[in-house]
Structure 1
Amino acid sequence: MSTNIQDILAEEAESLLAYRCTGIPRERLHVPGPDFVDRIVSLSDRNPRVLRNLQSLFNQGRLGGTGYLSLLPVDQGVEHSAGASFAPNPDFFDPEHIVELAIEGGCNGVASTLGVLGAVARKYAHKIPFIVKLNHNELLSYPNQYDQTLFAQVDQAFELGAVAVGATVYFGSEESRRQILEVSEAFAHAHELGLVCVLWAYLRNSAFKHEGTDYHTAADLTGQANHLAATIEADIIKQKQALGNGGYTALDFGKTHPKVYDELTSEHPIDLVRYQVANCYMGRVGMINSGGPSGKDDLHQAVRTAVINKRAGGMGLISGRKAFQKPVAEGVKLLNAIQDVYLSDEVTIA
């Protein structure tokens, strides 16, 4: 075991590295690996062009050939405002620095807006896989609205040389059914063209904050969001890592089953994320967790998130602000630390 990983995890090292899942044992999962496209995806209805582009993602960067993904997402210039995102490191107002960080950081691919990737496509589309994010929330509308609007078309992503498209659905929101329809239609067209489809399967509803607890990251609710994402044939699902459970029961809505809480999960973070993976067709659709906002303890939080994701059966991490809101050398170091978790043979699937 890398002593660095143990040192970073500190007092949580034994709990996270030695835990064994029993509710949903690893033998039931379709786990990531070098042969994932051949073993799992080739059995689906995806055409050969999708298989080729997905394999190109898996073959890139420091994790190339492992079946795991380390992605750099930089669409926050639209989602959170360019000033809020890039003022800590103004170089990243320039799209070229975004792509260069992904390359230097050893990532499998870079996910960003049509404008960012289109601005440098002829220089970089053949050097690192592009994932074009099709829709965004934007916070310039006053008062703020929380919805996903299409800023780009699938054909535009295809023409600039992308291997994949991405989109967000705010599951649980009033607008979610329209978003599901828009994204489902976009993904169907993307698959026809051979593009991989990545879904940001986020929850959004003020009612999910109840009696002082935020259930937007509850395992049961995010698990269902993952199941819906798999239903519209996302190839990769991006999800916030589960931080709790019991959303259905606390909010007293929808349908669930006591075994979800009594047998399939526990309070252990790996069990909670294992339930998220189980809802991705037991891992037939890869789940990557988001890295979260930048803060004072980024290295520890990033490595911890990666260890939990990998041990739960996840496919990797997509970390943006923790990397690009720092000097480049520090951002590269953080991305490499995440990747080291997936490269370690001793960080096993629980």
Structure 2
Amino acid sequence: MSVRNITGLLGDKAEYLLNHQCKTISQEQLHLPGPDFVDRIWINSDRNPQVMRNLQGMYSNGRLANTGYLSILPVDQGIEHSAGASFAKNPIYFDPENIIKLAMEGGCNAVATTYGGLGILARKYAHKIPFIVKVNHNEFLTYPNKFDQIMFASIKAGWNLGAAAVGATIYFGSEESTRQIQEVSKAFEMAHELGMATILWCYLRNPAFKTKEKDFHVSADLTGQANHLGVTIEADIIKQKLPENNGGYLALNTKESPYGKNDKRIYEELTSDHPIDLCRYQVANCYMGRAGLINSGGASSGDSDMAEAVTTAIVNKRAGGMGLISGRKAFQRPMKEGVEILNAIQDVYLDKGITIA
């Protein structure tokens, strides 16, 4: 995709997004993606050679190979959102082989999906594209609906099917988060011992985080802290929703219900209301980018998906992030169109004219 096409998709937001200069956290303080990321960052860590090999394998695959950026196709919605609701728009994806084919045709670095979906095709594809096994899920069949990430697969099982990495979700802020943190921490420890990389979906979930005015599940200060908890349990890569607002701690902290700890410099110096600055705060909480931040692509909106995907990629890249993990915008449409969406995202990271803010 040419710069002209990207500018056309952005419309009146082009100047705002492409020419923004970040005056909060400077890019010089960040550890930015690059071809030497594993040698520059992970060589000094406690990760063993097998983990570094698998990380490098992801960075060396697909259209973004050897750039330090990642484009990952995640399809766990068959459990998280129910298979019918997720695949009715495009029933071919009831068959997990088509999920893997979409990731390969779309030039992705890796494919992330369920233990069963990867296990049933492991011998055919594990050596062709890096696998990321999602080991826990919120199942959507218990009545009434509940929201709790529970383990679906063992780490050893993921290793046996040839996975390069494991993925897990923690619902930070929920009543169940303490148990989930402990479970995922132990799972990540074992994954590293066996040589697999770790990716954490650092999602917030608490009804109190959503008010009449704002949804603080996508607040920069709260998601940033979730990221910081994620890297503390040694997630190598953090998946997070793109921030849409800020001030979650401020809104939720009252005399009647004290919440968290705060510093006004978070809002006055380290962030602004610009989406790139909000995303940079997320990157800062990932050890200043030592653990890569990949933002999620969000739900499919129809005709606006291409523009939304490109916008998210630009915000992530210019903030200092490591890429996008976009699923529904790609698989809830014909495969050819899904490939086009994935390629458009990748084109942002391949475009040297789109620089770090």
Q: Would the TM-score normalized by the shorter structure come out above 0.5?
A: yes
Please give the secondary structure, in 2, of the residue aligned with 1:38: helix
Please give the secondary structure, in 1, of the residue aligned with 2:174: coil
Mapped pair 1:337 → 2:344: yes
Please give the secondary structure, in 2, of the residue aligned with 1:309: helix
Please give the secondary structure, in 1, of the residue aligned with 2:281: helix
Whole-angstrom CA distance in 1 between matches of 2:44 and 2:218: 31
The equivalent residue for 1:313 is 320
Whole-angstrom CA distance in 2 between matches of 1:8 and 1:65: 27
The equivalent residue for 2:295 is 289
Q: Deviations over 1:81-133 (max 9, x none)?
A: 00001111111001110100000000000000000000110000000000000
The equivalent residue for 2:230 is 229
**Is the contact between residue 280 and residue 287 of structure 1 (CA under 8 Å) also seen in structure 2?**
yes
Aligned length: 350
For 1:312, the aligned partner's letter is: A
**Is the contact between residue 210 and residue 251 of structure 1 (CA under 8 Å) also seen in structure 2?**
no
Question: Which consecutive aligned stretches of 4+ in structure 1 deviate over 3 angstroms post-superposition?
Answer: none
Please give the secondary structure, in 2, of the residue aligned with 1:254: coil
Instruction: State the Cα distance separating 1:349 from its structure 2 match.
Output: 0.5
Please list, as runs of the form range in 1=range in 2, the aligned pairs for 1:130-279 lying within 5 A after superposition.
130-252=131-253, 253-279=259-285
The equivalent residue for 1:110 is 111
Whole-angstrom CA distance in 1 between matches of 2:157 and 2:5: 43
Whole-angstrom CA distance in 1 between matches of 2:340 and 2:132: 23
For 2:248, the aligned partner's letter is: G
Instruction: State the Cα distance separating 1:42 from its structure 2 match.
Output: 1.1
Mapped pair 1:94 → 2:95: yes
Whole-angstrom CA distance in 2 between matches of 1:211 and 1:16: 28
Whole-angstrom CA distance in 2 between matches of 1:222 and 1:147: 18
Aligned mate of 1:298, from 294, 301, 305: 305
Runs of 5+ in structure 1 lacking a partner?
none
Whole-angstrom CA distance in 1 between matches of 2:352 and 2:301: 29
Whole-angstrom CA distance in 1 between matches of 2:44 and 2:262: 30
For 2:312, the aligned partner's letter is: T
For 1:201, the aligned partner's letter is: C
Please give the secondary structure, in 2, of the residue aligned with 1:201: strand
Stretch moving more, 204-213 or 277-286: 204-213
For 1:338, the aligned partner's letter is: I
Instruction: State the Cα distance separating 1:41 from its structure 2 match.
Output: 1.2
Whole-angstrom CA distance in 1 between matches of 2:17 and 2:3: 14
**Is the contact between residue 168 and residue 199 of structure 1 (CA under 8 Å) also seen in structure 2?**
yes
Please give the secondary structure, in 2, of the residue aligned with 1:243: coil
Whole-angstrom CA distance in 2 between matches of 1:211 and 1:43: 46
Stretch moving more, 326-335 or 203-212: 203-212
Runs of 5+ in structure 2 lacking a partner?
254-258
Instruction: State the Cα distance separating 1:138 from its structure 2 match.
Output: 1.1
For 2:171, the aligned partner's letter is: Y
For 1:219, the aligned partner's letter is: A
Q: Deviations over 1:236-262 (max 9, x none)?
A: 000000000000001111001000000
Please give the secondary structure, in 1, of the residue aligned with 2:301: coil
Q: Deviations over 1:283-320 (max 9, x none)?
A: 00000000000112100000000000000000000000
Identity, % of aligned positions:
66
Please give the secondary structure, in 1, of the residue aligned with 2:107: coil
Given the two structures, how large is their TM-score scaled by the length of structure 2? 0.97
Please give the secondary structure, in 2, of the residue aligned with 1:213: coil
Whole-angstrom CA distance in 2 between matches of 1:349 and 1:42: 24
Whole-angstrom CA distance in 1 between matches of 2:318 and 2:223: 18
The equivalent residue for 2:124 is 123
Instruction: State the Cα distance separating 1:213 from its structure 2 match.
Output: 1.2
Instruction: State the Cα distance separating 1:191 from its structure 2 match.
Output: 0.1
Whole-angstrom CA distance in 1 between matches of 2:275 and 2:203: 19
Instruction: State the Cα distance separating 1:4 from its structure 2 match.
Output: 1.0
Instruction: State the Cα distance separating 1:337 from its structure 2 match.
Output: 0.1
Instruction: State the Cα distance separating 1:212 from its structure 2 match.
Output: 2.6
Whole-angstrom CA distance in 1 between matches of 2:119 and 2:39: 31
Whole-angstrom CA distance in 1 between matches of 2:22 and 2:120: 46
Whole-angstrom CA distance in 1 between matches of 2:352 and 2:316: 15
Whole-angstrom CA distance in 1 between matches of 2:312 and 2:138: 25
Whole-angstrom CA distance in 2 between matches of 1:127 and 1:164: 14
Instruction: State the Cα distance separating 1:224 from its structure 2 match.
Output: 0.1
Instruction: State the Cα distance separating 1:211 from its structure 2 match.
Output: 3.5
Please give the secondary structure, in 1, of the residue aligned with 2:93: helix
Whole-angstrom CA distance in 2 between matches of 1:200 and 1:10: 31
For 2:268, the aligned partner's letter is: D
For 2:275, the aligned partner's letter is: P
Whole-angstrom CA distance in 1 between matches of 2:336 and 2:92: 13
